[in-house]
Chains A and B, each alone.
Chain A
Amino acid sequence: MNNRLRVLRAERAWSQAELGERLGVSRQAVNAIETGKHDPSLPLAFRIARLFDARIEEIFSDPQS
Chain B
Amino acid sequence: MFYIRSKNDPYKARPISIRSARWASSIALIAYPPGAFLLGLGTDLVAKGAGAVLLMASLFGAAFLTSSSVQRIVGEQPQFLDEFEMQVRLRAMQSAYAMFTVLALLFVLYSAIASDTRLWVPRDYEGYNGVFWGIFLYAWVLPSAFVAWRMDEAEESAGE
Contact = CB atoms under 8 A, between A and B. Distances in A.
Interface of A: 15-17, 24-35, 38, 40-41, 44
A38 to B, nearest CB: 5
A18 to B, nearest CB: 10
Interface residues of B, number: 9
Nearest to B158: A31
**Interface-central residue, B83, B87, B155, B158, by most chain A CB under 10 Å:** B83
B85 A26 contact: yes
Interface of B: 82-85, 87, 155, 158-160
A26 B159 contact: no
Q: Chain B's interface: helix, strand, loop or mixed, by majority?
A: helix
Nearest to A10: B159
B84 A32 contact: yes
A25 B155 contact: no
A52 B98 CA distance: 41
B148 to A, nearest CB: 13
Contacts of B82: 24-26, 29
27 contacts: A15-B159, A15-B160, A16-B158, A16-B159, A16-B160, A17-B159, A17-B160, A24-B82, A26-B82, A26-B84, A28-B85, A28-B155, A29-B82, A29-B83, A29-B84, A29-B85, A30-B159, A31-B159, A32-B84, A32-B155, A33-B84, A34-B159, A35-B155, A38-B83, A38-B87, A40-B83, A44-B83
Contacts of B85: 26, 28-29
Contacts of B87: 38
Contacts of B158: 16, 31, 35
